[in-house]
Amino acid sequence: MAGLIPRTFLDELLARIDIVDVIASRVELKKAGKNYTALCPFHHEKTPSFSVNSSKQFYYCFGCGATGNALKFISEFEHLDFVDAVETLARSLGLDVPREQQHYQQPNHQAYYQLLSNAAEYYQQQLINHSQAQLAKDYLKSRGVTHAISQQYGLGFAPAGWSNLINALTSQANSLTKLEEAGLVIQQPEKQSYYDRFRNRLMFPIRDQRGRVIAFGGRVFTDEKPKYLNSPETLVFQKSKELYGLYEAKQQNRQLTSLVVVEGYMDVIALAQHGITQAVATLGTSVTTDHVRKLFKQTNEIIFCFDGDEAGKKAAWRALENSFSSIEDGYSAKFLFLPQGEDPDSVIRSEGPKQFQQRLDNQSLTLTEYFFQQLESQVNLHSLEGRAKLSKLASPYLNNLKPSTFKQLIENRLAELTGISPSSPTPSALSAQHSTPITVSKPTGQIPSYSQPQTAQVVRSPAETALLLLFIEPTLVSQVNFDNFHGSAADQATQLLIDAMHYFKKNLLSDNQPQESIGEFIGHYYGTTEGNRLKEILNNSAPETTKQTNLLFIDSIKRVQTKLSAATSKQQLNELASKATTLNDETSKADYLKAFARLRQQKSNND
């Protein structure tokens, strides 16, 4: 669809939707006074800290700081972008999403989605009704695929023949050109004719994250080559970015604790048939960085499950290489190798789902284990040359890691294997030093060890400290002399503190619950730059709450007051200096200069 979504429609959508209904259909909510509470779906916790405010139509988690309206919740929970989240909510109300006209019109892909959907329905009907479909049915039966799984994944059948799909779909609305652009037919330029791309194949529809059919994979039943045939890349399909079975995995699992990446469509189907419903497959390509990023948007753990032959090991190493740039603290990639000559389909049918799950749980190698296992096999760690080679082999991969605790730990592991101190320059760093004669800031080279982990010291301004303490204990607002807090502040944190103090004072005096006051205050700023800054401050770990909390709050408030006074004095000094230089009357000029000197002395004393 072209154009922007009108603001008026978004307002209408949010006015008609009830955030409680939206969240309750996905998370178990319990009534708690005026609000609803639940275990937060965005982080692991044992005590509910997730609050939904029905009257204000927003949610807030006091544990992780997640906050937003119904649109934000759908986007975060379903891992959708903004437009997809809007369309999901609109669809639940039976509404079509309008678009504003733009000078530049984006391509309208709806016609292709409709064509591909019609093709999927056609193939599904052929599997049920076509006289040639018995071979496909027998094949599915031999692989243990039930009718329910076949329906769930939308399996179909493309009959033999050159124009079955063309005859079924061609009309004035569906030109042969459109069918070709959708990847469904192939043109013969010399004959100026078209023929069906998929013939005499079991059909696997490939869906995007919203469930729309974007392409197909077709499998033969004989020794005909190629065994699998995929749609070409089109305006709606890029095979390096899509994964077979991801939509179905999301539909069957409210929360994906892990995703298992396999090599073939039938592996996904076979695992689902035996209760392993979180499997996906690449589409005839190796695992790409786009695949890894998409997977990590859905889950914190990826398990790459490949055959134990050379091709499987090569595919696994490519997956490892493309995982390094996406790995960060809290995420993990693992690698499971099956016995040679076996695949997930054959293993789960011979061993059963319980044994296969045990393989996933107990036999998978972590990224670090697999990485060093492969590199160590190429060197002799008993020699200096071998350890130097290991360091050189590992360095490019480690340089691709994001700064994190994980990166520090894997560098420490390399140091243990090579005997080279983590603070020593890496081979790539040495190379850079010799090849690029530029001045760079000296690195600290200090990396935490296993025995003595170092944690970053959180540095807060007095305003941030006071704001955090106020959210922990809103009644601290009674300690504030509001005569010193009027007007606006230069920095955002101080202004948020002033606003929060006035807000809490007003609401606590009217007997509102502190938790409700906090939630309403946060909701007031949702979607603004101030709201983003507030979330950033509150997401910092809070100061330890002890008997000294009251003193720390008062001290922070005094520091904020001093800063505000200094800012006021500076403004007054500038005004007086300006006036003194423009006055012609010497007496008045002298009076202004005395006042200027007095204020400057006061500012000096405060500093």
Segment-wise mean pLDDT, segments of 10 residues, the chain, 607 residues: 69 88 90 87 83 86 83 85 85 81 58 94 96 92 93 96 91 77 89 90 94 95 82 93 94 89 94 96 91 91 92 92 88 94 92 95 95 93 92 90 88 90 54 40 33 49 85 81 66 85 73 55 66 71 58 86 70 62 62 66 57
Of 205, 345, 364, the residue nearest 276 (C-alpha): 345
Angstrom distance (rounded) from CA 468 to CA 452 = 29
Whether the Cβ atoms of residue 384 and residue 420 lie closer than 8 Å to each other: no
Whether the Cβ atoms of residue 70 and residue 17 lie closer than 8 Å to each other: yes
Angstrom distance (rounded) from CA 296 to CA 59 = 24
Q: Is 435 exposed, middle or buried (0-12, 13-18, 19+ CB in 10 A)?
A: exposed
| 7-92: CATH, from 3.30.70.920, 3.40.50.200, 3.90.580.10, 3.50.50.60 | 3.90.580.10
Lay out the sheet containing 58-61: strands in order across. 30-32, 35-38, 50-53, 58-61, 67-68
Cα separations in angstroms, 514 against 364, 503, 505: 48, 11, 10
Whether the Cβ atoms of residue 554 and residue 484 lie closer than 8 Å to each other: no
- Return the CATH number of the domain spanning residue range 246-372: 3.40.1360.10
CATH superfamily for domain 110-230: DNA primase, catalytic core, N-terminal domain (3.90.980.10)
Whether the Cβ atoms of residue 241 and residue 288 lie closer than 8 Å to each other: yes
| 378-427: CATH, from 1.10.3470, 1.20.1530, 1.10.720, 1.20.50 | 1.20.50
Phi, psi of 217 (to 5 degrees): -120, 140
Whether the Cβ atoms of residue 259 and residue 332 lie closer than 8 Å to each other: no
Angstrom distance (rounded) from CA 246 to CA 256 = 11
What global pTM score does this model have? Answer: 0.61
Q: What's the pLDDT score for residue 108?
A: 66
Q: Which residues contact 377 (CB under 8 A, 6 or more apart)?
A: none
In this structure, what token pair is assigned to residue 512? 């509102």
Q: What's the pLDDT score for residue 500?
A: 84
